[in-house]
Amino acid sequence: MKFAIKFWLLLIVAVFPIRPVFADDLRTRTLQRAALEAGLKPAKSTNIAVDPFLVDIGKTLFESKELSIARDTACSSCHLDQFGSADGLPVAIGTEASGFGNTRIVNGGDIIPRNVLPLWGRGDNGFDVLFWDGKVEKKQASLISQFGKGVPSDDPLVVAAMLPPVEIGEMFIDADGTDEFQTETLESATVIYDLLIERVKENSALGPKLASASQKEIQDLDFVDVANALAAFIRHNFRVQPTKLHRFVFQDEALTKSEIRGGLLFYGKGRCSLCHNGPFFSDLAFHSIPIQQIGFGKNGFGVDYGRFNVTLGTKDQHLFRTPPLLNVTKTGPYGHSGGANTVSEVITAHFDPLRYFPKPETDLVVRTELYLRLGKWTQSVLPGVVLDDEEVKDIETFLKTLNYDSEFSVTSK
Amino acid sequence: MRLVFLPVSFWSGLSLGILLSLLLSPSWKYGVEYFGQAEFSNLTFKCDNAMRVHFVAKNKVAEQPNELSVQELKASEIGLLDCQEYDLYRKKLIRWGLSENEVSEMALRATEAKGKDLREVIKTHEIRY
């Protein structure tokens, strides 16, 4: 009897294998090679060493509301651990808000027209294009930013860190008494920087530590020293670290079947890696994905011209920088104005943008903008990609292999 | 008792077995086709699509020989794994007892699944030069 059972079991195993082993091996090797060809590098290879004293005071400044004129907003108000260093909202709620996540909407505050960008890899070597529209960009030896020729640093992350404290509604309150600073000029920004650095100098928890870490006398501190410290913290805390995909490619750690399927779709027929490539899973170039526009838009009334606002070149209208994908599954909603709620939704919007949107009741301006963005999209490599829902789920599963945790936990009071 | 009935049982059992195998074989095949058709149709489409995309990507490299076209071609090459998936499923159906002919019939059903009228069938079968 036992022999009979064994016989039949062996027969079943021999005759009906689900998939030959060689096929799995082919997929594993193909995925590893595709990831390398698309620019995946060992995590440490892009890291930049930073001074631990600067990192320490940088973290304190990152969590401090002293950097907003009204003392109501810190960097960590919108860059939170629980939302993968973003804020969990479609568009940011800046000054005059309180709480985290949805609470900020309920409590009310100044609405920023763009989705908060997470910070993963932002300070690593080669991450030279910052913000949705690339308003800070390092091109060879020069750094292009709103500062023009008076750029305070040749480090794009330092320049980027200088912007939120003077951005109206982001950390600079739009209220009576601040009108004189709302000229959006370098002169206004300089006055605000002077006010803020004086405040930092006078703060016993911030001034002496920043002076010491900056190796300066306290009276010699400039706001760029604050930005240097913030950049050091961001660079260190959110640096690229080994993910499951890194371990799969460089150490042969196994992936699940669904992760491998998703990876092959990502580098294969999904064509995701044609733009989401390199060590940060972004070509740091500008493209149009017709995701629903949420909110007022940078250009008003539901319009956001994206890269055009920086270059004024009409070919750049409606283009946005390819979002990096490290920790992407933690950072929803997605798109420059958070028009896609879930990872599946945003993946689908890349190849089937009309699946969920527009609805008949969608505002005419938003629909018109959609047509313009669709026009740009049709010139891209994405039309023609066909993925079913199961494949989209597989890609989402693969994207989870790009997750990792930051070194320090960020707190917000 | 056993000696008397054993030969009878053996021959009846054998006959019954042969009869059952003759009767159940078409039912088994019908079952495999019924439960396998949806997945087979899906894989047939995916392989067909992957081949078309690859063909277009190759032509694009010839027309526009740039880095993006080459990347697109490489992506389409990985996409051809869908055809391996199709081949493996085809072999699996054969292992489950279907003949090549019966699997081909399933493929025909897959390609004509969306045919709403005769024109779709003509499109599939007409000879083109």
Interface predicted TM-score (ipTM) over 0.90: no
State the residue range of the domain holding B64: 26-125
pLDDT in tens, A232-282: 999 999 999 999 999 999 999 999 999 999 999 999 999 999 999 999 999
Q: Which of A117, A88, A92 is nearest to A296 (CA)?
A: A92
Q: Give the DSSP H or E segment for A142.
A: strand A142-144
- Encoded amino acid at B45, one letter: F
Using the Cβ of B33 and the Cβ atoms of chain A, whether some distance falls under 8 Å is answered with: no
Would you say residue B61 lies in a domain? Answer: yes
Distance to chain A for B76, nearest Cα, Å: 6
The pLDDT of A37-60, averaged and rounded, is 98
CA–chain centroid gap for A324, Å, is: 6
Using the Cβ of B95 and the Cβ atoms of chain A, whether some distance falls under 8 Å is answered with: yes
A177: left (phi over 0), alpha (psi -120 to 50) or beta: left
Instruction: State the pLDDT at residue A68.
Output: 95
Would you say residue B93 lies in a domain? Answer: yes
Q: Please report the domains of chain A, with CATH numbers, ordered by start residue.
A: 24-45+241-402 (1.10.760.10), 52-237 (1.10.760.10)
pLDDT at A11 over 70: no
- In chain B, the number of structural domains is 1
Chain A positions in Cβ-Cβ contact with residue B88 (cut-off 8 Å) = 19-20, 23
Q: Do A268 and B76 touch (CB under 8 A)?
A: yes
pLDDT in tens, B34-75: 999 999 999 999 999 999 999 999 999 999 999 999 999 999
Average pLDDT over chain A, rounded to an integer: 93
In this structure, the number of other CB atoms found within 10 A of the CB of residue A148 comes to 8
Largest CA distance in chain A: 93
Q: Do B72 and A274 touch (CB under 8 A)?
A: yes
Would you say residue B70 lies in a domain? Answer: yes
pLDDT in tens, A180-219: 777 778 888 999 999 999 999 999 999 999 999 999 999 9
Would you say residue B7 lies in a domain? Answer: no
Rounded Cα–Cα distance for residues A154 and A121 (Å): 18
Instruction: State the pLDDT at residue A399.
Output: 98
Residues 64-83 of B with CB under 8 A from A: 68, 71-72, 74-79, 81-82
pLDDT in tens, A117-170: 999 999 999 999 999 999 999 998 899 999 999 999 999 999 999 999 999 889
DSSP B52: H
List the single best residue of B45, B81, B89 to mutate versus A (max A Cβ within 10 A). B81
Would you say residue B2 lies in a domain? Answer: no
